[in-house]
Amino acid sequence: MPFEKIPSEKLSQAVVRQIESLILNGVLRPGERLPAERDLSERLGVSRPSLREAVAELQDRGLLAARAGAGIYVADVLGSAFSPALVGLFRSHDQAVFDYVAFRRDMEGLAAERAARDGSETDLKVIDAIFRKMEAAHAKRDPSDEAALDADFHMAIIEASHNVIMLHMMRSMYDLLKEGVFYNRQAMFRQRTTRDQLLDQHRAINTAIQARDAAAARAAVEAHLNYVLSSLTDARQSERHEAVARQRLEHEAER
């Protein structure tokens, strides 16, 4: 973790500000455990009493939480942007699914553009490393790893955009996606042809970002999510046709 030595005159408030910054910028994530007190105080270059004072303040403010016998963790600062009732509506209405993908297309296209233009060398290495893992996972029959890495790849691009509002908003929305609120991501990866196309699309995104071609990065993300939107539309139409066909068969059987 990128903790830095703190000059002695800053003490507990400097610790508070550094941990705040790490949470705000998404480096410390909800549910992540902080190092043990002795280790963390050494990394920060402050006394353990000063560290305890800072941790206590952050706990009072709801940013850190203690777990009995387990240590100090980053609190669930994300929560949900939507009420349970609204999430239920998302599950049952196609409009929410299509609007969600369209929203992602707009936000992630912008994030990819910013990542290609402004991302650090470390940011780009992280994105590339995740894509290489996607390529390795693609060779396996079980698509679950590739589906999980897909989410990691997109979140790495959002993190590389260095917009903290976008980061926390999209991380919250990705939690809903992982829970299957909008659509079954793994189902898309089970189809070999679709998997091949998705990998090619992710390759195009990664290539553009690594080349720092901001316009191409945005276009590649938008093309990818347009493909996802088209695939979901086709799947919904197919499901409706099958439902109508079943109803006809049931009606004819009753006659």
Q: Which residue has the tokens 């991501």?
A: 185
pLDDT surpasses 80 at 251 = no
How many other C-beta atoms are found inside a 10 Å radius of the C-beta of residue 199?
18
Joined tokens for residue 6: 């703190």
pLDDT at 147: 85
Long-range CB pairs of 140-148, under 8 A, 24+ apart, other chains included: 143/186, 143/189, 143/190, 143/195, 144/186, 144/189, 146/189, 146/195, 146/199, 147/185, 147/186, 147/188, 147/189
* pLDDT, tens digit (0-9, with 9 covering 90-100), for 97-112: 889 889 999 999 999 9
* pLDDT, tens digit (0-9, with 9 covering 90-100), for 164-202: 888 888 888 887 777 766 666 666 776 767 889 999 999
Q: Which residue has the tokens 């470390």?
A: 122
Alpha carbon distance 228, 223 (integer Å): 9
Look at 70-79, 102-111, 113-122, 123-132 and tell me which has the smallest mean pLDDT.
70-79
